[in-house]
Amino acid sequence: MSAFVGKYAEELIKNAKYIATPGKGILAADESTGTIGKRLSSINVENIESNRQALRELLFTSPNALSCLSGVILFEETLYQKTSDGKPFVEILEENNVIPGIKVDKGTVEIAGTNGETTTQGFDSLGARCQQYYKAGARFAKWRAVLKIGPNEPSELAIQQNAQGLARYAIICQENGLVPIVEPEVLTDGPHDIKKCAAVTETVLAAVYKALNDHHVLLEGTLLKPNMVTPGSDSPKVAPEVIAQYTVTALRRTVPPAVPGIVFLSGGQSEEEATQNLDAMNKLEVLKPWTLSFSFGRALQQSTLKTWAGKKANVGKAQEAFLSRCKANSEATLGKYSRGSAGGLASESLFVKGYKY
């Protein structure tokens, strides 16, 4: 029936709306220990807690960068970490009007009988965990569902499993005061064209919003984190304006106006591509009842990571690189980005085939 309006309803609506503030977006800094290990090893840095802490401290204390952000998604370990001065990360974020968020899923597992399609786990004690995260300062959560495109994919089973999973996760979050970011990622892998990606994205989003309605999720207290609609990774690239057109059309056909904001994932796009595509969408002259912003991981951190290379002496320059990407994306949410304010690093593709988080 209608939406579940529990004790956190007003707060959820307020927080979701704040995260969707025009000119701001989300830093996805929720790489699990295994995943952040890959990032660190790419710059020859050892995957130990102090290095993970050092990287996040670099990001969260970057002068002026936080003003471009409305939220940061954290991994559980990071939620409880502090700066080298002993100040909790959560406090730094809160003081700078950045809402702390928390990744609550526990990765994907394959669905038997399918061709490598997956579903997402993490339901056990999810409610209790959300309560703990709320106490620790988190006010939004994230759960990543994954679909792939193939000759027979995504299958109806995979679509239903992932849509139902997202809906169940979402209502549990709302029961416990966390705004759920709903992330149904359709992977870029494959030789398909942009029309195919559009068709699949529309089908998936329609299933997701039907499931959210079935589970009584309060849409005004949610955010959507979808893929942009692009050609497959093995297919020729298209201009940002084309990506913008297909993406916004897909969203207009499936996302009800009650959703306050849409924060795109960057997938394997380079920093510059992701920003240009987001900018093109916001320049598009068609009515969009939700804001269009970013929830970028790699597309905000790649240059920063390389510039840092694990060395204290590079922190300042690395923070400048980070601020540069934050500002670029902030402008993109307003359709005000002037292209090419990035160096060679920012154009490097971040696509990894069959990427496993």
**Known active-site residue 225:** yes
What is the β-pairing status of strands 291-296 and 261-264?
parallel
The whole-angstrom separation of Cα 307 and Cα 345 is 9
**Contact pick of 7, 236, 285, 287 for its own copies (by CB under 8 A):** 287
| Per-residue binding letters, 252-271, with its own copies (x by CB under 8 A) | xxxxxxx-------------
The whole-angstrom separation of Cα 94 and Cα 92 is 6
Minimum distance from residue 298 beta carbon to its own copies (Å):
28
Tokens of 334: 């307003």
Considering the rule CB under 8 A, would residue 200 count as an interface residue with its own copies? yes
Considering the rule CB under 8 A, would residue 237 count as an interface residue with its own copies? no
Considering the rule CB under 8 A, would residue 63 count as an interface residue with its own copies? no
**Contact pick of 76, 193, 214, 320 for its own copies (by CB under 8 A):** 214
**Contact pick of 17, 82, 87, 210 for its own copies (by CB under 8 A):** 210
Q: Tell me if 229 sits within 8 A of 201, measured CB to CB.
A: yes
Considering the rule CB under 8 A, would residue 327 count as an interface residue with its own copies? no
The whole-angstrom separation of Cα 23 and Cα 69 is 8
Of 1-9, 76-84, 103-111, 134-142, the window that binds its own copies (rule: CB under 8 A) is 1-9
Tokens of 142: 């994230």
Q: How much helix, strand and coil, in percent to the nearest 5, is found in the chain?
A: 45, 15, 40
**Contact pick of 97, 249, 314, 349 for its own copies (by CB under 8 A):** 249
**Contact pick of 9, 43, 206, 284 for its own copies (by CB under 8 A):** 206
Annotated catalytic residue within 31, 117, 183, 271: 183
Q: Tell me if 155 sits within 8 A of 113, measured CB to CB.
A: no
- Specify the amino acid at residue 193: D
Minimum distance from residue 251 beta carbon to its own copies (Å):
8
Terminal C-alpha separation, the chain: 35
Considering the rule CB under 8 A, would residue 14 count as an interface residue with its own copies? no
Residue 7 CB partners (closer than 8 Å, separation 6+): none
Residue 146 CB partners (closer than 8 Å, separation 6+): 108, 118, 120, 162, 185, 187
Considering the rule CB under 8 A, would residue 191 count as an interface residue with its own copies? no
**Nearer CB in complex with its own copies: 20/326:** 20
Considering the rule CB under 8 A, would residue 284 count as an interface residue with its own copies? no
State the number of CA atoms in the 13 A half-sphere of 320 facing the CB. 7
**Contact pick of 47, 155, 213, 235 for its own copies (by CB under 8 A):** 213
- Of all helices (H) and strands (E), which one includes residue 282? helix 271-283
User: Where in the sequence numbering do the catalytic residues fall?
Assistant: 183, 225
Residues making contact with its own copies (CB under 8 A): 1-3, 195, 198-200, 202-203, 206-207, 209-210, 213-214, 219-220, 249-250, 252-258, 287-289
